[in-house]
Amino acid sequence: MRFIHSSDWHIGRQFHNVSLLQDQQHVLDQLLAYIASEAVDALVIAGDIYDRSVPPAAAVELLDQVLNQVCAEMGVPVILIPGNHDGAERLRFGARQLQRAGLHIIGDFEQMLTPVALIDKSSQTAVHFFGIPYNDPALVRDRFATEAATHDQAHAFLIEQINAVKTAEVPTVLISHCFIDGAQESESERPLSIGGADRVSYESFKSFDYVALGHLHSPQYKGEPHIRYSGSILKYSFSEQHQNKGVTLVELDSGGHCSTRHLPLKPLRDMRILEGELATLLEQGKVDPHSDDYLLVRLTDRHAILDPMGKLRAVYPNVLHLEKPGMLETGEQQMSRDKLKRGELEMFRDFFIQVSGQALSPDQDAALINTLNELQCTATVREEPQR
Ligand SMILES: [Mn+2]
């Protein structure tokens, strides 16, 4: 059995107010090419199909088109579960009818307990796929009348339910959307709950031959190589600039032994961080073959610059975020009542640090005091009634 494990498509996501739909279409086309070239038996998507529970129409259209190509045109079954970004009720619309067409949406606890049985084309043996639709502990308590208080307890409880119905002789794959304790997170994942209470242990996964995970956006395995996150199909934050995105090709033999291979996805526009002085970056941009990448620019210039964003975008059209020295501290520079009571001299000194990242030199400070004195004299003269 050969299948592709993917997750975290986040179709319809906006990044700094830019739609990523075209970028998503671009990598999903590569996924379709892999499905054909690797002659896989199935495609597994481990949640966060959409970015929101009520996705925009264009996102629904793209997913519909991709799934139609895989299921109907290529004849390859798809098994998917909702993630924490999806609305399970909307995603599972028509699920019972669609499974006859090879589209298996495991969107509720009833479907969770019935495996999707697929036949390996080469060995003619069966493999069972179980999926846990994303849920929080309250939902599990509600449905099963159990005490499970944490994500870990709820998740372990659901795996027990699956263990109770699974067939020992048949190789089994589990699909889940969760945060394994100790795995590496990225900035683009939405926490499942506050304060680290969302972590689950990988121990209960060991009873499966392969575990296809979603939620964490960096490709990785945790605990054992067969307990794996495929990672998202695109970089969804600048913190992911060095991650190698892709999908996982899984090969599972009839004895339940598996091997995996990372199949890279090449983005239409990469996501990068550039750092340097404005003049240098503008020169580099003129000869940069990838000047349309999505960029975060960190300017190191010490002096004030007029319209840096406009200048950068003339060369790099997709600069999405700009940072300057001193800007990071703005949170600490909040206008308190005390600060407002201070005079022009103190306020200008603060402003200068904020803009340039350093304090006024003694000469600059003296010049400022002179200027302020002159201005104040003029102001006083003007305020005097004309005679
Ligand atoms: Mn996600």
Average pLDDT, integer, range 354-376? 87
Ligand 1 center to 217 CA (angstroms): 6
CA of 188 to the centre of ligand 1 (A): 7
What local confidence, expressed as pLDDT, does residue 339 receive?
Answer: 60
- What distance in angstroms lies between residue 148's CA and the mean position of ligand 1's atoms? 24
User: What pLDDT does residue 387 have?
Assistant: 43
**DSSP of 85-125:** TS-HHHHTTTHHHHGGGTEEE--SHHHHTS-EEEE-TTT--
Rounded to the nearest whole angstrom, what is the distance from the C-alpha of residue 7 to the centroid of ligand 1?
8
Q: For residue 326, report the distance from its CA to the centre of ligand 1, in Å.
A: 32
Place of tokens 């600039």: 241
List b or e across 293-332, with b for residues whose CB sees 16 or more CB atoms inside 10 angstroms: bbbbbbbebeeeeeebeebbbeebeebbeeebbbeeeeee
Is it the case that residue 335 has pLDDT exceeding 60? no
- Binning pLDDT at 50, 70 and 90, where does residue 169 land? confident
What pLDDT is stored for residue 381 in this prediction? 44
One CATH from 3.40.30.10, 2.60.40.420, 3.40.50.2300, 3.60.21.10 for 2-264: 3.60.21.10
pLDDT tens string 204-244 = 899 899 999 999 999 999 989 999 999 999 999 999 999 99
CA of 109 to the centre of ligand 1 (A): 21
What average pLDDT does this structure show over 252-264? 91
| Residues, Cβ < 5 Å to ion ligand 1 | 8, 48
> Could you report the per-residue pLDDT of 84-119, keeping only the tens digit for each?
999 999 999 999 999 999 999 999 999 999 999 999
Residue 41 is predicted with a pLDDT of: 95
190 C-alpha vs ligand 1 centroid, how far in Å? Answer: 7
Q: For the chain, give every domain's residue range.
A: 2-264, 273-382
pLDDT for res 328: 46
pTM of the model: 0.83
Predicted local confidence at residue 327, as pLDDT: 56
Share of the chain above pLDDT 70, in %: 92
117 by Cβ neighbours in 10 Å (0-12 / 13-18 / 19+) ranks as exposed
Mean local confidence (pLDDT), 347-369: 88
- Which pLDDT value is given to residue 329? 45
**How far is the centre of ligand 1, averaged over its atoms, from the C-alpha of 125 (Å)?**
33
**Average pLDDT for 167-188:** 91
